[in-house]
Amino acid sequence: MDDFVRIVEVGPRDGLQNEARPVDTADKIELIRQLSLTGLRTIEATSFVSPRWVPQLADAAEVYTGITRVPGIAYPVLVPNEQGYDRALAVGVQEVAVFTAASETFNRTNTNAGIDESLARFAPILERAKADGVKVRGYVSTVLGCPYQGEVAVSEVVRVARALHEMGCYEISLGDTIGVGTPRKARAMLKAVASELPMAALAVHFHDTYGQALANIDACLEEGVRVVDSAVSGAGGCPYAKGASGNVASEDVVYMLHGIGMRTGIDLPALATTGRWLAARLGRETGSKTGKALAAT
Amino acid sequence: MDDFVRIVEVGPRDGLQNEARPVDTADKIELIRQLSLTGLRTIEATSFVSPRWVPQLADAAEVYTGITRVPGIAYPVLVPNEQGYDRALAVGVQEVAVFTAASETFNRTNTNAGIDESLARFAPILERAKADGVKVRGYVSTVLGCPYQGEVAVSEVVRVARALHEMGCYEISLGDTIGVGTPRKARAMLKAVASELPMAALAVHFHDTYGQALANIDACLEEGVRVVDSAVSGAGGCPYAKGASGNVASEDVVYMLHGIGMRTGIDLPALATTGRWLAARLGRETGSKTGKALAAT
């Protein structure tokens, strides 16, 4: 089994998106500059959703044009629809990510569209992206639970993941958006998806709302996944549980990966330093336990 | 495989012992009263070490005599030597815990005695306890790393655990005192000890310094352990990494256990409420992510 794990750093997008305190454009660019020096190979830079939905990322174009893209590092951005794709393309984006939920209720509540409508909206983006030479990643959210409907059927997760893969998404990130999952369920969900799609095309994305993320990641690594989404400093929060924890902290993931003998190519102390820098910008302590421990020793 | 996991709540002892802010005797008694109503079966109440070593627990006798012991719940206390055992016995303690490190350097630095000297000191306590009808638990610390010597040989962990078991300790708690362990190493360590001692006589005890505790616990549960030490609210800290996280939070452990289909007999919302109450007494937010999430929903 391959021992290299690729970390998809989602702090500048999924992390900041859920932070109430506004972050300056210059600080976002500085964050991505620092992250680019840690050995990360994928850094999700921003989101071209409507500024009305996510005011924190209204400066997506400025951020993307402001960063220095290091060769060998991918800087994907989130796009919700063709309009977002147009804005992203206009500033030279080379990789985008589309997203839908596995929960019908969640998708309708958050995007005013059913899952199948969302998928239909992505079809032209995938077609254009192919012609434009733009890579497309797909996110499936609420794979282990939904804040509105509770349980989400694994069969729905499989169906949505397969649809995105068949449309041309090179990688499908399976997201426990509200962080309710535990290791056995996480592993069973991954196993079900991997029974229909290649494991190499799958990633896992855990939020740490109940502190379960690392245990879930370890279970999924045992099942064979080798791509993990995480956010430096554990940035972000949970819009469905005010005050709760956000994305799993990249530093804690990397600490575990190195400890279990996996390679990431990441300089952990450098990553932890960036995490503490970001936390200071957000006016609080780092949300990474490894980040705290490394600062103390 | 049995699906019942016994949580040994160590917050009032291991948690408070590492808290700098003094906690009133009345609050310690109130903490144990609240914990006694959550379904916990074992609550480590305090420590009869020298008040010079641990001023926070100088009121051990007052705490122990102040609590109402609920039938069916064990309230063990830590004793470092025969003098501590005498003090504990004088107030009617029915279960004690002795402790030594698996790291020679750690043991010498912290107790001014080598491991074998420590074990020799415990021999008369174990003999007297047998005659007194007092149960004795044994702690082995630094099982996955030492702040002074770094690596700790698994063979030493096995040797010390076996010595405590042979002396008459009914249960051996294997402690990652500085929280440096990761799942594969934790599991391998447990497996090595379980190759010489009955799994039913083993417990695991993780600190969350690098955020690895739940992943380690899950790995050890898969290996078969069914007793887990934890501290409500993630109380405590790490004397070797100032500002770092303390014991793994009981709430997060229980959330995971219930999620993977294990029984604990514990009322999680009640436990989380107690955790937040304790955190308020310590002047901060709860260290349990589950505790935060449950407060928000």
Provide the shortest C-alpha distance from residue B168 to chain A (in Å). 34
Out of A209, A218, A289, the one facing B219 most closely (by C-beta) is A218
Which of A18, A212, A220, A240 should be substituted to probe chain B, the one whose Cβ sees the most B Cβ atoms within 10 Å? A212
Task: Please tell me the predicted confidence (pLDDT) of residue B209.
Answer: 96
Q: Do B181 and A259 touch (CB under 8 A)?
A: yes
Convert the pLDDT of each residue in A138-161 to its tens digit: 999 999 999 999 999 999 999 999
Task: Spell out which residues of chain B touch residue A5, defining contact as CB-CB under 8 Å.
Answer: none
| pLDDT above 70 as % of chain A | 99
How would you list the strands of the sheet with A227-230, edge to edge? Answer: A42-43, A6-9, A227-230, A202-206, A171-176, A135-141, A95-101, A77-78, A46-47
Closest chain B CA to residue A241: B296
Task: Spell out which residues of chain B touch residue A295, defining contact as CB-CB under 8 Å.
Answer: 243
Q: Do A293 and B218 touch (CB under 8 A)?
A: no
**Residue B1 reports pLDDT greater than 80:** no
Q: To which residue do tokens 């660019």 refer?
A: A29
Proportion of chain A in helix, strand, coil states, percent, rounded to 5: 45, 15, 35
Angle at B73 between CA B70 and CA B78, to 5 degrees: 110
Q: Do A292 and B243 touch (CB under 8 A)?
A: yes
Which of A187, A209, A223 should be substituted to probe chain B, the one whose Cβ sees the most B Cβ atoms within 10 Å? A209
Convert the pLDDT of each residue in B39-98 to its tens digit: 999 999 999 999 888 999 999 999 999 999 999 999 999 999 999 999 999 999 999 999
Tell me the one-letter amino acid at A295: A
Measured CA to CA, the distance from residue A216 to residue A186 in angstroms comes to: 6
Task: Spell out which residues of chain A touch residue B289, defining contact as CB-CB under 8 Å.
Answer: 208-211, 244-245
Task: Please tell me the predicted confidence (pLDDT) of residue A241.
Answer: 81
Three-class DSSP category at A198: coil
Complex ipTM: 0.93
Convert the pLDDT of each residue in B111-121 to its tens digit: 899 999 999 99
Closest chain A CA to residue B261: A184
Task: Please tell me the predicted confidence (pLDDT) of residue A67.
Answer: 98
Provide the shortest C-alpha distance from residue A236 to chain B (in Å). 14
pTM: 0.95
Measured CA to CA, the distance from residue A257 to residue A218 in angstroms comes to: 9
At A171, give phi and psi (nearest 5°).
-150, 140
Measured CA to CA, the distance from residue A249 to residue B223 in angstroms comes to: 27
Task: Spell out which residues of chain A touch residue B290, defining contact as CB-CB under 8 Å.
Answer: 210-211
Out of B242, B255, B296, the one facing A243 most closely (by C-beta) is B296
Strand partners, B179: none
B245 Cβ partners below 8 Å, 6+ apart?
A289, A292, A293, B179, B207, B208, B209, B211, B234, B237, B238, B287
Task: Please tell me the predicted confidence (pLDDT) of residue B148.
Answer: 93
Angle at B207 between CA A204 and CA B100, to 5 degrees: 145
Measured CA to CA, the distance from residue B46 to residue B35 in angstroms comes to: 14
Convert the pLDDT of each residue in A58-100 to its tens digit: 999 999 999 999 999 999 999 999 999 999 999 999 999 999 9
CB A243 within 8 A of CB A258: no
Total residues found in chain A within this entry: 297
Task: Please tell me the predicted confidence (pLDDT) of residue B243.
Answer: 81
**Residue B17 reports pLDDT greater than 70:** yes
Domains of chain B as residue ranges with CATH? 6-296 (3.20.20.70)
Out of B184, B249, B296, the one facing A241 most closely (by C-beta) is B296
Task: Please tell me the predicted confidence (pLDDT) of residue A1.
Answer: 56
Task: Spell out which residues of chain A touch residue B255, defining contact as CB-CB under 8 Å.
Answer: 182, 210-212
Q: Do B292 and A245 touch (CB under 8 A)?
A: yes
Residue segments in chain A with a per-residue pLDDT below the cut of 50: none
DSSP 8-state class, residue B41 = S
Q: To which residue do tokens 């029984």 refer?
A: B263
Q: Name the catalytic one among B146, B169, B220, B238.
A: B238
**Residue B297 reports pLDDT greater than 80:** no
CB B256 within 8 A of CB B32: no
Active site (annotated) includes residue A238: yes
CB B190 within 8 A of CB B202: yes
Convert the pLDDT of each residue in B21-43 to its tens digit: 899 999 999 999 999 999 999 99
Convert the pLDDT of each residue in B213-248 to its tens digit: 999 999 999 999 999 999 999 999 888 888 888 999
Out of A244, A261, A293, the one facing B241 most closely (by C-beta) is A293
Convert the pLDDT of each residue in B158-197 to its tens digit: 999 999 999 999 999 999 999 999 999 999 999 999 999 9
Task: Please tell me the predicted confidence (pLDDT) of residue A187.
Answer: 98
Distances (CA, A) of B269 to A284, B21, B260, B273: 27, 26, 18, 6
Measured CA to CA, the distance from residue B201 to residue B1 in angstroms comes to: 15
Task: Please tell me the predicted confidence (pLDDT) of residue B280.
Answer: 96
